[in-house]
Amino acid sequence: MPLANAVQLIAYPNRIGRGLADLGDFVDLLGNAVGGIHLLPPFPSNADGGFSPLTHREIDPAYGTWADVERLAAGRDLCLDLVLNHLADDSPEFQDYLRHGRASPHAALFVDVDALGPIGPEELARIHIRKEKEPFREIVFADGTHGRVWCTFTERQIDLDYRSEAVYRLMADNIAALAGHGVKLLRLDAFGYTTKQIGTSCFLVEPEVWRILEWFRATAAGHGVDILPEVHDHPSWQHAIARRGMWAYGFALPPLVLHALSCGDARQLKAWLRMCPHNQITVLDTHDGICIPDAEGLLPPADLEALIQDVSARSASPVLRRQGDAVHSVGAIYQLTCTFFDALRRDADAYLCARAIQFFTPGIPQVYYVGLLAGSNDDALLRRTGEAREINRHYYTAEEAAGALHTPTVRRLLRLMALRSTHPAFGGTFELAYSADDALSMGWRAGRHSCWLEVDLRRRAAVLRHTDEQGRIVETRC
């Protein structure tokens, strides 16, 4: 069955209340405002906020059970992360590898760095890395011998070797198991790092990356599941993903919307709206922050730099991109760590305009739980953890989250979400109408139904005109 054309909520298993049962109670409060949920990893994990899974077959008992997950999937589309690039170093497979070395039945799962051939300064310089050191970890086997494995992210996350059939068997089993629990959409986390070829960037290496993605698309489709490959890079990647029948990510939208509202200029946003894929998942905020590479080539460099400087004044330290030969240098900005509400200076009208633009953009919109509750930067959590992205990952008690639903800004947002999730016009045709450079006019039509949005970017005011059940035009302000 196709995904419901309705708003999805992005949430951790334990940051609205104590666990999945509390999250389920909270989602029930949202009624028809949401038609799906993207549940961030609920699996046993030892690092990276759940993205270092020991297995995809179990739910961390601290969060709940598979029954709690299936409750979230009942009557809604459920998206789960398939962390396909790596396994936790505490996983049974890697622990067996440490005990038995190459004699382990799981040895083929992991990248033997020393078997890849010489990696000199020139080869290292090309590798796209995500931390302040080369992406290798030395390990000691039980017999005292040494080896090296690949770790793109933390030392606890051991990369898988996609030259091995054993990895595909593991992933096929994971996909089948997750589909059996009601998953409709799999977000393929960090898939771009699966292509390890010395002498290349080892990131999004073509054509190998497309062969890997096509295997995941076909395997998931065999279980009635769609895939959402996650990548931050030039916007051409999203077009290429969409052309291959997979869900693309509208990661360019957040910086384009921030630029339009901060400058009162919609020209670049409109240009993207004319050409963006329609089989996309749109976001303004995620657990990772506001991503920048996706807007490169869409916003002029000076405008992108001005946006970075503006939001950075209210952010934690940005996440950087580096290369293997310059691991301690300042790289290009990768992600801005800030809630979207704070990025817009906690201006409720601007925030509702941004959400309205997102909801009228082609695709299925996702709203991050902090954004749903118009949350501000959690500076205390940042100081406590030292992790920049935690500034946008507040822990809400069940009572705190339920109470936030009654604040004026969130009530306005919920009305807008309910309209987007239920109005029949959004199942029809998207239209972008002429408007001045400091305005935006866009809408949807299906038969006798229509839903239209007019945004005055300088006044930060948005007006909705939509048909009711009798086909009469109703006008409201966001």
Answer whether residue 96 is part of any domain. Answer: yes
Identify the pLDDT of residue 315. Answer: 83
Same domain (yes/no): 137, 188: no
User: Is 254 part of a structural domain of the chain?
Assistant: yes
Residue 473 belongs to some domain of the structure: no
Residues 279 and 242: beta-carbon distance below 8 Å = yes
Whether residue 97 is found in the same domain as residue 176 = no
In the DSSP assignment, the letter for residue 277 is: -
Beta carbons within 10 angstroms of residue 105's beta carbon? 11
Does 256 map to a domain?
A: yes
Q: Please measure the distance between the N-terminal and C-terminal CA atoms of the chain and give it in whole angstroms.
A: 32
Q: Which pair of tokens denotes residue 188?
A: 């393929």
Let me know whether 153 and 296 are in one domain: no
Determine the Cα–Cα distance for residues 2 and 338; give it in Å rounded to an integer: 33
Domain-terminating residue out of 387, 410, 428: 428
- Under DSSP, is residue 31 helix (H, G, I), strand (E, B) or coil? helix
30, 145: one domain: no
- pTM of the predicted model, to two decimals? 0.95
Verify whether residue 114 is a known catalytic residue.
no
Annotate 89-143 with DSSP letters as a single string: TTSHHHHHHHHHGGGSTTGGGB--GGGG----HHHHHH-EESSSS-SEEEEE-TT
Which residues does 406 contact at the CB level (< 8 Å), separation at least 6? none
Are residue 150 and residue 242 in the same domain, yes or no?
no
Does 239 share its domain with 352? yes
CB of 171 closer than 8 Å to CB of 219? yes
Q: Could you tell me the two tokens for 455?
A: 């945004």
Residues in the chain, total: 478
DSSP tag of 318: P
Does some domain include residue 474?
no
Alpha carbons 351 and 418: distance in angstroms, whole number: 17
Same domain, 255 and 311: yes
Determine the Cα–Cα distance for residues 163 and 109; give it in Å rounded to an integer: 9
Distance CA 64, CA 193 (A): 31
The last residue of a domain, from among 159, 177, 209? 159
pLDDT of residue 324: 46
Token reading at 394 = 């507040």
Residue 150 sits in a domain of what CATH number? Answer: 3.90.400.10
Range of the domain at 266: 8-86+163-428
Residue 40 domain-assigned (yes or no): yes
- The answer to whether residues 37 and 148 belong to one domain is no
Backbone angles phi, psi at 463, to 5 degrees: -120, 135
Per-residue confidence (pLDDT) for residue 289, from 0 to 100: 87
User: Is residue 440 situated within a structural domain?
Assistant: no
- Looking at the fold, whether 185 and 146 belong to one and the same domain comes out as no
Catalytic residue among 60, 77, 159, 189: 189
Helix (H) or strand (E) run with residue 442 in it? strand 439-446
Tokens at residue 464, please?
């909705």
Judge whether 370 and 12 are in contact, CB under 8 Å. no
Residues 81 and 96 in one domain: no
The pLDDT of residue 292 is 87
For residue 320, the model assigns a pLDDT of 60
> Does residue 133 sit in the same domain as residue 253?
no
Cis peptide before 121 (omega within 30 of 0): no
Q: How many domains does the chain have?
A: 2
Region of 253 (left: φ > 0; alpha: ψ -120 to 50; beta: rest) is: alpha
Please say whether the beta carbons of 436 and 378 come within 8 A.
no
Within 10 A of 153 (CB to CB), how many other CB atoms are there?
A: 20
Tell me if residue 89 is catalytic: no
Q: Which residues of 37-75 are buried (b: 16+ CB within 10 A; e: fewer)?
A: bbbbbbbbbebbbbbbbbbbeebbeebbbbebbebbbee
CB 357 within 8 A of CB 365: no
Active-site residue, selected from the candidate residues 230, 294, 390, 454: 230
- pLDDT tens digits in sequence order for the chain, 478 residues long: 689 999 999 999 999 999 999 999 999 999 999 999 999 999 999 999 999 999 999 999 999 999 999 999 999 999 999 999 999 999 999 999 999 999 999 999 999 999 998 899 999 989 988 777 889 999 999 999 999 999 999 999 999 999 999 999 999 999 999 999 999 999 999 999 999 999 999 999 999 999 999 999 999 999 999 999 999 889 999 999 999 999 999 999 999 999 999 999 999 999 999 999 999 999 999 999 898 889 989 999 999 999 999 998 888 777 665 544 443 333 466 789 999 999 999 999 999 999 999 999 999 999 999 999 999 999 999 999 999 899 999 999 999 999 999 999 999 999 999 999 999 999 999 999 999 999 999 999 999 999 999 999 999 999 999 999 888 999 999 9
Q: From its phi and psi, is residue 162 left (phi > 0), alpha (psi between -120 and 50) or beta?
A: alpha
* Beta-bridge partner residues of 416: none
Alpha carbons 286 and 97: distance in angstroms, whole number: 35
Position 132 scores a pLDDT of: 73
Same domain, 296 and 400: yes
Asked whether residue 462 is domain-assigned, the answer is: no
DSSP alpha helix (H) spans, 201-278: 208-221, 236-243, 253-263, 267-275
Strands 77-83 and 183-189: parallel
Task: Report the number of secondary-structure helices (H) and strands (E) in the chain.
Answer: 16, 22
CATH number (domain holding residue 399): 3.20.20.80
